[in-house]
């Protein structure tokens, strides 16, 4: 038996490179003692020898590399040509002898199942299910060799070629092994998922079962029985019988046949076998350490596992999430409108920022210390505060006034019977919170008494803090000095923005809560809040947008600038802006705007994302869209002014209605005073974030400088690659290991982005 061409299914050498994804997984299950039909693997070395002997590799690559992966017709044509090449190619005498030797030694002429096993399948984040061929009930040596060759050819189906191209997998790097196993003439077969792939529930095993071979289910040709087993109680939670109108059975002489059934009223799998299968699949998932999609069969009252692969459609749990609890997580990215993955440096920065918040509150070591990541997105575990009725009321009040659309979902989750309530506000945390909140409450009172003065004072205080950060950054010389500024700044940034503005924001929120309570009971409080907060002044994002609109109008008024934006593409405009060759008015206005707002950008909460001053493409797109806006009523300044007028009109309407109620005059005076505070302070909700973004802009410039040094030293490929590392890795890793870490992180992020 040729060692590199054929491997027993329990071989320790049956890893991905030699055995493909399916073969490697079955080898793992076999070595672990799971009931897997015996067999052997025709390795990728055998495939490589076959394509080399028949001069196929270069011809295949030349044929497919010129095809657009979105052109399905072209892919089908190329695939048909490649399959014809495989059909006419010959397996060498030595390779045939090796395959048949393995067949006789390990299976001894029994009917076999011949399954494709590609090196790029059954991997985390990828699903090649159904893209490569399987042949069942193969009988005899000639049929076996034909089936192996057809499996090799299935590496080049149109579907597989297109999927690999779209997933960024180079065709040069793929190969295919073939798994040959004793054919299980199943009485019942199907698939099992050790977590519900639809709901994501990790406590449920989902089993689909049908008489005969499992191919009918895998191919979607039949409505099988559907069972669900709860892991926590090992009880059958759901049992739904399918029509089971057909079965696929082994045919005498080889191959399979379809037969009609009338088994809709008959349970395909007994309760005992359902529970036995659920436990067996659960053990496999526990062995792999991740939920599995498993093909199984029942024959002669014995269960067999035919295939196992990760459930690629299942969104990953946060890294530190317990697997045995019903927890509730809040998406950081969703709250900020960032749905894409965060860079590793962006994740690190937000964690350090959160640690600073917890330090201020005095809750270090609490479950809320740092956000957790799942799929390179950030989530905060809010289970504990929601489980305590006192803390939950605080969170619900905040959500009602800041994110009202989230509140119904929270109410639904906390009513779930799996959610456990408890008292978690320990005396230590309570004391820390009170110590933290007392000065804030004092400043809230001051803000409500003198809103304009407090706003100006805090704005000046934050500006001074940011300037101090800029001065520190400008004074750095060495790599470590830059990291020191970044690390200390991230840990202290909470004081510079959110903490400083917290009393003013609360001072803007409390009047809205008061107005809602005094409003007539038949009033829609959500609509009321929306209407009273239209056209709020002092909103830094609104101010920025109005500034950009005003500058766009000055660009529009200049003939040369207007013509440039109308006649040239965005890429050309960006190149000219960077080269300082735009018409003078446009160049000046953009320079002035970016001098003030250049630290902003798309997904700006992620430290690893470029800022406008690095890539002004999004900004110039905004300017171009403003220049194309010709409807006067839609102009941003007009919309803003109209919103302020509508808010005043809504207040007047509310006051008129209140005066008709009991103690109406007093209520009306209170509401008017509350409205004035709301207008003076309510627009500051964006100010803490801007303070953070301004600081992140400083730290990003320092990191880019560090990246330039690493790139010049050859440690990383380009300066921006530094954002695929963390601060600790920059401090603690030797230069030789940085490239390795970077490659892993970069690849992981790209996989998530393409999913």
The predicted pLDDT at position 136 comes to 94
The predicted pLDDT at position 312 comes to 77
Residue 237 and residue 119 share a domain? no
The predicted pLDDT at position 227 comes to 97
Residue 51 and residue 93 share a domain? yes
Give the chain's mean pLDDT. Answer: 87
The predicted pLDDT at position 602 comes to 92
Domain count, the chain: 3
Enclosing domain of residue 652: 529-660
Q: What is the pTM of this model?
A: 0.76
The predicted pLDDT at position 492 comes to 86
Question: Tens of pLDDT along 217-226?
Answer: 887 889 999 9
Q: Is the pLDDT of residue 471 over 70?
A: yes
C-alpha distances in Å from residue 163, one per residue of 78, 129, 330: 15, 11, 33
Number of other residues whose CB lies within 10 A of the CB of residue 524: 10
Torsion over CA of 50, 52, 58 and 59, rounded to 10 degrees? -50
| 330's tokens | 């809040």
The predicted pLDDT at position 667 comes to 92
Q: What is the pLDDT averaged over residues 101-119? A: 88
Q: Band of the pLDDT at 125, cuts 50, 70, 90?
A: very low
* 98 within domain boundaries: yes
Of 556 and 353, more confident = 556
Of 280 and 412, more confident = 280
State the CATH number of the domain containing residue 96: 3.30.1490.20
Q: What is the pLDDT averaged over residues 597-617? A: 95
* 350 within domain boundaries: no
* 263 within domain boundaries: yes
Residue 193 and residue 151 share a domain? no
C-alpha distances in Å from residue 23, one per residue of 61, 111, 294, 499, 735: 25, 19, 14, 56, 37
Q: Is the pLDDT of residue 12 over 60?
A: yes
Give dist(CA 294, CA 287) in Å, integer: 13
Number of other residues whose CB lies within 10 A of the CB of residue 106: 22
The predicted pLDDT at position 633 comes to 92
Q: Is the pLDDT of residue 722 over 80?
A: yes
The predicted pLDDT at position 122 comes to 47
The predicted pLDDT at position 523 comes to 55
For 130, left (φ over 0), alpha (ψ -120 to 50), or beta? left
**Are 19 and 4 in contact, with CB atoms under 8 Å apart?**
no
Q: What is the DSSP string of 83-125?
A: HHHHHH----HHHHHHHHHHHHHHTTT--EEEEEEETTSS-TT
Sign, CA torsion 368/371/373/378 = positive
Q: What is the pLDDT averaged over residues 715-729? A: 88
The predicted pLDDT at position 1 comes to 42
Taking alpha carbons only, the member of 202, 452, 436 closest to residue 327 is: 202
The predicted pLDDT at position 741 comes to 63
The predicted pLDDT at position 171 comes to 77
* 725 within domain boundaries: no
Q: Is the pLDDT of residue 687 over 90?
A: yes
Of 693 and 368, more confident = 693
Q: Band of the pLDDT at 652, cuts 50, 70, 90?
A: very high
Residue 31 and residue 144 share a domain? yes
Number of other residues whose CB lies within 10 A of the CB of residue 387: 18
Q: Band of the pLDDT at 322, cuts 50, 70, 90?
A: confident
Q: Is the pLDDT of residue 504 over 90?
A: yes
Helix (H, G, I), strand (E, B) or coil at 296: strand
Q: What are phi and psi of 736, to 5 degrees?
A: -65, -25
Give dist(CA 256, CA 234) in Å, integer: 35
Residue 113 and residue 126 share a domain? yes
The predicted pLDDT at position 361 comes to 56
Residue that terminates a domain, selected from 660, 687, 707: 660
Of 680 and 72, more confident = 680
Question: Tens of pLDDT along 310-321?
Answer: 887 888 888 777
Residue that terminates a domain, selected from 183, 200, 232: 183
* 644 within domain boundaries: yes
Q: Is the pLDDT of residue 553 over 70?
A: yes
Residue 293 and residue 152 share a domain? no
Contacts of 383-386 with C-beta under 8 Å, sequence gap 24+, read 383/325, 383/327, 383/328, 383/329, 384/424, 385/424, 386/328, 386/410, 386/413, 386/414, 386/419
Question: Tens of pLDDT along 384-440?
Answer: 888 887 778 878 877 776 677 788 888 888 888 878 877 666 666 667 667 767 788
Residue that terminates a domain, selected from 141, 166, 183: 183
The predicted pLDDT at position 698 comes to 96
Q: Band of the pLDDT at 303, cuts 50, 70, 90?
A: very high
Please count the CA atoms within 13 angstroms of the CA of 692 that sit on its side-chain side. 24
* 347 within domain boundaries: no
Residue 143 and residue 124 share a domain? yes
The predicted pLDDT at position 370 comes to 66
**Are 280 and 12 in contact, with CB atoms under 8 Å apart?**
no
Secondary structure element (H or E) that encloses residue 695, with its range: helix 687-712
* 469 within domain boundaries: no
Taking alpha carbons only, the member of 400, 634, 606, 409 closest to residue 512 is: 400
**Are 724 and 345 in contact, with CB atoms under 8 Å apart?**
yes
Residue 651 and residue 568 share a domain? yes
**Are 619 and 595 in contact, with CB atoms under 8 Å apart?**
no
- 668 Cα distance to chain centroid: 49
The predicted pLDDT at position 143 comes to 95
Question: Tens of pLDDT along 130-151?
Answer: 568 899 999 999 999 999 999 9
State the CATH number of the domain containing residue 300: 3.30.470.20
Q: Band of the pLDDT at 165, cuts 50, 70, 90?
A: confident
The residue assigned the tokens 């320990």 is: 426
Q: Is the pLDDT of residue 752 over 70?
A: no
Question: Tens of pLDDT along 22-32?
Answer: 999 999 999 99
Residue 156 and residue 299 share a domain? no
Secondary structure element (H or E) that encloses residue 226, with its range: strand 225-230
Q: What is the pLDDT averaged over residues 568-595? A: 96
The separation between the first and the last C-alpha atoms of the chain, rounded to the nearest angstrom, is 41
Taking alpha carbons only, the member of 567, 551, 573 closest to residue 626 is: 551
Q: Band of the pLDDT at 128, cuts 50, 70, 90?
A: very low
Question: Tens of pLDDT along 695-705?
Answer: 999 999 999 99
For residue 307, what are the β-bridge partners?
295
Give dist(CA 727, CA 699) in Å, integer: 11
Residue 156 and residue 43 share a domain? yes
Residue 171 and residue 198 share a domain? no
Secondary structure element (H or E) that encloses residue 178, with its range: strand 176-182
Task: Tell me how long the chain is.
Answer: 755
| 456's tokens | 């100006």
* 190 within domain boundaries: yes
Residue 129 and residue 19 share a domain? yes
Over the range 526-561, which residues count as b (16 or more CB within 10 Å of their CB) and which as e? eebbebbbbbbebbbebbbbbebbebbeebbebeeb
User: Which of 364-368, 493-497, 596-600, 616-620 shows the lowest mean pLDDT across its residues?
Assistant: 364-368
């Amino acid at each position: 038996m040729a060692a590199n061409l054929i491997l027993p299914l329990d071989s320790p050498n049956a890893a991905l490179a030699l055995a493909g994804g399916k073969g490697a997984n079955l080898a793992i299950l076999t070595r672990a003692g799971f009931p897997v039909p015996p067999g052997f693997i025709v390795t990728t070395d055998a495939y490589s020898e076959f394509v080399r002997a028949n001069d196929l590799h270069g011809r295949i690559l030349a044929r497919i590399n010129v095809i657009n992966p979105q052109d399905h017709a072209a892919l089908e044509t190329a695939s048909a040509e490649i399959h014809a090449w495989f059909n006419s190619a010959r397996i060498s005498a030595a390779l045939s002898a090796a395959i048949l030797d393995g067949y006789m030694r390990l299976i001894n002429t029994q009917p076999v199942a011949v399954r494709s096993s590609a090196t790029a399948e059954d991997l985390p984040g990828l699903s090649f299910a159904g893209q490569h061929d399987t042949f069942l009930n193969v009988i005899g040596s000639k049929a076996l060799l034909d089936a192996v060759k057809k499996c090799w050819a299935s590496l080049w189906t149109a579907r597989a070629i297109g999927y690999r191209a779209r997933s960024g997998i180079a065709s040069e790097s793929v190969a295919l092994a073939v798994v040959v196993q004793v054919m299980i003439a199943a009485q019942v077969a199907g698939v099992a998922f050790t977590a519900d792939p639809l709901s994501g529930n990790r406590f449920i095993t989902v089993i689909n079962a049908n008489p005969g071979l499992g191919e009918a289910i895998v191919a979607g040709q039949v409505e099988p029985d559907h069972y669900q087993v709860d892991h926590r109680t090992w009880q059958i939670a759901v049992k739904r019988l399918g029509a089971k109108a057909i079965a696929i059975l082994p045919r005498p002489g080889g191959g399979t046949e379809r037969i009609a059934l009338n088994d809709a009223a008959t349970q395909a799998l007994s309760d005992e076998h359902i529970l036995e299968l659920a436990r067996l699949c659960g053990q496999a998932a526990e062995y792999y350490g991740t939920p599995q999609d498993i093909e199984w069969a029942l024959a002669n009252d014995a269960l067999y596992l035919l295939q196992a692969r990760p459930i690629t459609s299942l969104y990953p749990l946060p890294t530190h999430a317990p697997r045995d609890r019903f927890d509730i997580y809040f998406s950081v990215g969703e709250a900020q409108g960032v749905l894409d993955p965060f860079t590793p440096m962006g994740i690190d920065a937000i964690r350090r920022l959160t640690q600073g918040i917890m330090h201020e509150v005095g809750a270090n070591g609490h479950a809320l210390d740092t956000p957790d990541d799942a799929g390179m997105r950030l989530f905060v575990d809010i289970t504990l505060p929601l489980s305590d009725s006192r803390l939950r009321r605080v969170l619900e009040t905040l959500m009602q006034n800041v994110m009202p659309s989230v509140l119904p979902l929270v109410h639904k989750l906390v009513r779930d019977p799996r959610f456990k309530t408890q008292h978690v506000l320990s005396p230590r945390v309570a004391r820390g919170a009170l110590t933290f909140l007392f000065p804030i409450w004092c400043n809230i009172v001051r803000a409500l008494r003198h809103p304009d003065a407090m706003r100006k004072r805090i704005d000046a205080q934050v500006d001074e803090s940011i300037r101090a950060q800029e001065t520190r950054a400008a004074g750095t010389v060495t790599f470590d000095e830059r990291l020191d500024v970044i690390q200390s700044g991230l840990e202290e940034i909470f004081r510079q923005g959110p903490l400083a503005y917290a009393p003013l924001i609360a001072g803007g929120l409390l009047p809205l809560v008061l107005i809602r309570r005094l409003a007539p009971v038949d009033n829609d409080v959500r609509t009321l809040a929306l209407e009273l907060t239209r056209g709020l002044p002092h909103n830094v994002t609104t101010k920025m947008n109005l500034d950009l609109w005003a500058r766009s109008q000055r660009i529009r008024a200049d003939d040369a600038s207007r013509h440039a934006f109308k006649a040239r593409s965005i890429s050309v405009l960006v190149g000219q802006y960077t080269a300082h060759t735009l018409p003078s008015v446009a160049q000046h206005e953009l320079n002035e705007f970016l001098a003030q707002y250049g630290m902003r950008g798309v997904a700006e909460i992620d430290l690893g994302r470029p800022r406008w001053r690095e890539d002004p493409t999004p900004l110039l797109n905004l300017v171009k869209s403003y220049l194309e806006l010709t409807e006067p009523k839609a102009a941003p300044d007009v919309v803003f002014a109209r919103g302020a007028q509508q808010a005043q009109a809504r207040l007047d309407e509310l006051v008129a209605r209140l005066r008709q109620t009991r103690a109406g005059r007093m209520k009306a005076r209170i509401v008017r005073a509350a409205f004035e505070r709301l207008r003076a302070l309510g627009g500051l909700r964006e100010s803490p974030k801007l303070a953070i973004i301004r600081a992140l802009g400083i730290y990003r410039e320092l990191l880019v400088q560090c990246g330039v040094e690493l790139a010049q030293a050859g440690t990383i490929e380009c300066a921006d690659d530094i954002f695929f590392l963390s601060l600790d890795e920059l401090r603690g890793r030797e230069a030789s290991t940085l490239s390795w870490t970077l490659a892993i992180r970069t690849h992981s992020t790209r996989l998530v982005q393409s999913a």
